[in-house]
Amino acid sequence: MPFIPARSLVTGASSGIGAAFARALAARGSDLVLVARRQDRLRTLAEELRARNGIRVEVVPADLSRPGIGAELRALTGPVDLLVNSAGFATHGPLTESDDARMEREIDVDVRALVSMTRAYLPDQIAARHGGIVNVASTAGFQPVPGMAVYGAAKAFVRSFTEAVWHEARPNGVKVLSLSPGSTRTEFFEIVGTESAAVGRFQSADTVVNIALRALDARRTPPGVVCGAGNALTATMTRFLPRRLLLDLSARMVRT
């Protein structure tokens, strides 16, 4: 049975996977709250979705790196039936050459904001015994990634955190999903500054979102899904390789 939230909030909605989630959810008839820093892009997307789908769309420009962002947005928007934490970015290069401010913002957006948002919106869903949360992780979270050490660790955190919350929320009828895409055709690698960090075949953002929605549609939504058979096989293999070999292979793949 399709999971059709009455109202969904999507972070990182100005582009990439976040924008693809917004379009797919709008096509299902869900009203939307779109959150990102780039207000002009959000407004353009909102106009498109209102005209095409006849839904209500709220635009909320916000910097997710701010402390307490989850409670701040929850007070502004009220409860939602589905929360999609899609905002995030990566840095590339040796840790000693990383810009401190950018690296700290990466942690704030990829980790702290995701936890803050989940904590802020989950209680309403538990009280209603209905709802869902999708946290966008990555195949980078299945092993340490030399050259992208902070990003790999952040996405490993997202996976572990989300799967634990899945178990906590499941008795209350709330679906919680860790979504792990591989290389995806978005602005991600432009922001990283190189496509050398891409591993495996590229997928479209629409493909990634369709995989997530199929998991939400399932009667028993799993704690996590990996996007694509090849990515799923690679993620499984990381559990069996010797750690030093895994690190060598991972470093070679992102080519620092």
> Of all residues in the chain, what percent carry a pLDDT higher than 90?
77
Q: Is residue 232 included in any domain, yes or no? A: yes
Query: What are the beta bridge partners of residue 132?
Result: 82, 175
Q: Please pick, among 3, 121, 151, 189, the residue that the annotation labels catalytic.
A: 151
pLDDT in tens, 56-108: 999 999 999 999 999 999 999 999 999 999 999 989 899 999 999 999 999 99
Statement: residue 27 has pLDDT above 50: yes
Which tens digits make up the pLDDT trace of 187-213? 554 444 455 555 567 689 999 999 999
Average pLDDT, the chain: 91
CA 223/CA 175 separation, integer angstroms = 8
Q: Which residue range is the domain that position 166 belongs to?
A: 7-254
In a domain, 187, yes or no: yes
d(CA 175, CA 196) in angstroms, rounded, equals: 35
In this prediction, residue 192 carries a pLDDT of 44
CA distance linking residue 159 with residue 148, whole number of Å? 17
Evaluate whether residue 2 is within a structural domain. no
How are beta strands 131-136 and 82-85 bridged, if at all? parallel
Categorize the per-residue pLDDT at 233 as very low, low, confident or very high, splitting at 50, 70 and 90. Answer: confident
Please state the domain count of the chain.
1
74 in a domain, yes or no? yes
Position 238 in a domain: yes
Longest Cα pair distance anywhere in the chain, in angstroms? 54
End-to-end CA distance of the chain: 45
pLDDT at 189: 47
In a domain? residue 80: yes
Q: Kindly state whether residue 110 falls inside one of the protein's structural domains.
A: yes
Task: Assess if residue 156 is contained within a domain.
Answer: yes
pLDDT score recorded for residue 186 = 58
Rounded to whole angstroms, the Cα distance separating 145 from 246 reads: 9
Active site residue 151: yes
Q: CATH number of the domain at 156, please.
A: 3.40.50.720
